[in-house]
Chain A
Amino acid sequence: MALPMRTPARADTPAGERPYLGFGLGLRPQHYGEILDRPSDLPEPRIDWFEIISENYMAAGGRPLANLMRVRDRYPLVMHGVSLSIAGIDPLDADYLRGLKALADRVDPAWISDHLCWTGVDGVNLHDLLPVPFTEEALDHVVQRVGQVQDALGQRIALENASTYVTFASSEMSEWTFLAELARRADCNLVLDVNNVFVSGFNHGFEPMDFIRALPAERVIQIHLAGHEHNTTHIIDTHDATVVDAVWELYGATVRLLGPVSTMIERDARIPPLAELEAELEQARALAAAAGA
Chain B
Amino acid sequence: MRLAALQRAFAARILKGDPAILPHIRDSARAPRATLLHVYEHAYGARLAEVLEGDYEKLRQALGADGFLTLAAAYVEAYPSRHPNARFFGRHLPAFIEAVAPWSDRPWLAELARLEWAMGEVFVAEDQPRVGLEAMAALHPEDWPRLTFAFVEDLRRLETRHGGPEAWLALDASDDPALAAAAAAKAEADGPLPQRWLIWRMADKARFRSLEPPEAAALDLAASGGCFADLCEALLEFADAIDAATLMAGYLRTWIEAGVIAGYAAADGA
Please list the residues of chain A having a beta carbon within 8 angstroms of any beta carbon in chain B: 55-56, 58-66, 83, 85, 87-89, 93, 96, 118-128, 130, 133, 135, 137-138, 141, 165-170, 203-205, 232-234, 236
The complex places the Cα of A88 from the Cα of B8 at a distance, in Å, of: 10
Chain B residues lying within 8 Å of A66, measured Cβ to Cβ, are 127, 204
18 sampled A-B residue pairs with Cβ under 8 A: A55-B87, A59-B126, A60-B124, A62-B201, A66-B204, A96-B85, A120-B84, A121-B10, A122-B11, A125-B86, A126-B81, A127-B51, A130-B7, A135-B3, A137-B2, A166-B25, A169-B24, A234-B28
Contact mask for chain B residues 83-96; partner A; CB cutoff 8 A; 1 contact, 0 none: 11111010000000
Chain A residues lying within 8 Å of B204, measured Cβ to Cβ, are 62-63, 66
Chain B residues lying within 8 Å of A233, measured Cβ to Cβ, are 28, 30-31, 35
A125:B81 contact, CB within 8 angstroms: yes
Please list the residues of chain B having a beta carbon within 8 angstroms of any beta carbon in chain A: 1-4, 6-8, 10-11, 14-15, 23-26, 28-31, 33, 35-37, 39-40, 43-44, 47-48, 51, 80-87, 89, 122-128, 154, 201, 204-205
B84:A166 contact, CB within 8 angstroms: no
Nearest CB to that of B204 among chain A residues?
A: A63
Chain A CB count within 10 A is highest, among B28, B44, B128, for B28
A60:B126 contact, CB within 8 angstroms: yes
Chain B residues lying within 8 Å of A61, measured Cβ to Cβ, are 124-128, 154
The complex places the Cα of A118 from the Cα of B128 at a distance, in Å, of: 35
Chain A CB count within 10 A is highest, among B4, B85, B201, for B85
A89:B4 contact, CB within 8 angstroms: yes
Chain A residues lying within 8 Å of B24, measured Cβ to Cβ, are 168-170
A203:B28 contact, CB within 8 angstroms: yes
Nearest CB to that of B25 among chain A residues?
A: A166
The complex places the Cα of A283 from the Cα of B183 at a distance, in Å, of: 53
Number of A-B contacts (CB under 8 A): 137
Nearest CB to that of A125 among chain B residues?
A: B81
B23:A137 contact, CB within 8 angstroms: no
The complex places the Cα of A204 from the Cα of B3 at a distance, in Å, of: 20
When the two chains form the complex, which single residue of B1, B3, B14 contacts A126, counting CB atoms closer than 8 Å? Answer: B14
When the two chains form the complex, which single residue of A58, A64, A168 contacts B6, counting CB atoms closer than 8 Å? Answer: A168
The complex places the Cα of A62 from the Cα of B123 at a distance, in Å, of: 6
B30:A137 contact, CB within 8 angstroms: no
B15:A124 contact, CB within 8 angstroms: yes
> Nearest Cβ in chain A — how far from B158, in angstroms?
19
Main secondary structure of the interface of B (DSSP, over half): helix
Chain A residues lying within 8 Å of B2, measured Cβ to Cβ, are 137
A205:B29 contact, CB within 8 angstroms: yes
The complex places the Cα of A118 from the Cα of B125 at a distance, in Å, of: 28
> Nearest Cβ in chain A — how far from B89, in angstroms?
8
Chain B residues lying within 8 Å of A124, measured Cβ to Cβ, are 11, 15, 80-82
Chain A residues lying within 8 Å of B201, measured Cβ to Cβ, are 62
Chain A residues lying within 8 Å of B125, measured Cβ to Cβ, are 61-62
The complex places the Cα of A141 from the Cα of B3 at a distance, in Å, of: 9
The complex places the Cα of A139 from the Cα of B82 at a distance, in Å, of: 26
Chain A residues lying within 8 Å of B23, measured Cβ to Cβ, are 169
> Nearest Cβ in chain B — how far from A70, in angstroms?
12
Nearest CB to that of A123 among chain B residues?
A: B82
The complex places the Cα of A55 from the Cα of B4 at a distance, in Å, of: 26
Chain A residues lying within 8 Å of B51, measured Cβ to Cβ, are 127
B1:A170 contact, CB within 8 angstroms: yes
A133:B11 contact, CB within 8 angstroms: no
Chain A residues lying within 8 Å of B15, measured Cβ to Cβ, are 124, 126
A169:B26 contact, CB within 8 angstroms: yes
Nearest CB to that of B30 among chain A residues?
A: A233
| Other A-B pairs, 13, CB within 8 Å; known A65-B127, A234-B30 | A55-B86, A62-B154, A83-B84, A87-B3, A122-B8, A124-B80, A127-B48, A127-B81, A127-B86, A141-B3, A167-B25, A203-B28, A204-B28
Chain B residues lying within 8 Å of A85, measured Cβ to Cβ, are 84
Nearest CB to that of A81 among chain B residues?
A: B84
> Nearest Cβ in chain A — how far from B217, in angstroms?
29
Nearest CB to that of B80 among chain A residues?
A: A124
CB-based closest 10 A-B pairs: A61-B127, A63-B204, A233-B31, A83-B84, A61-B126, A233-B30, A125-B81, A165-B39, A121-B7, A124-B80
Chain A residues lying within 8 Å of B84, measured Cβ to Cβ, are 55, 83, 85, 93, 96, 119-120, 125
Please judge, given known A-B contacts A55-B87, A166-B33, A234-B30, whether A128 and B124 are in contact too, CB under 8 Å.
no
B28:A83 contact, CB within 8 angstroms: no
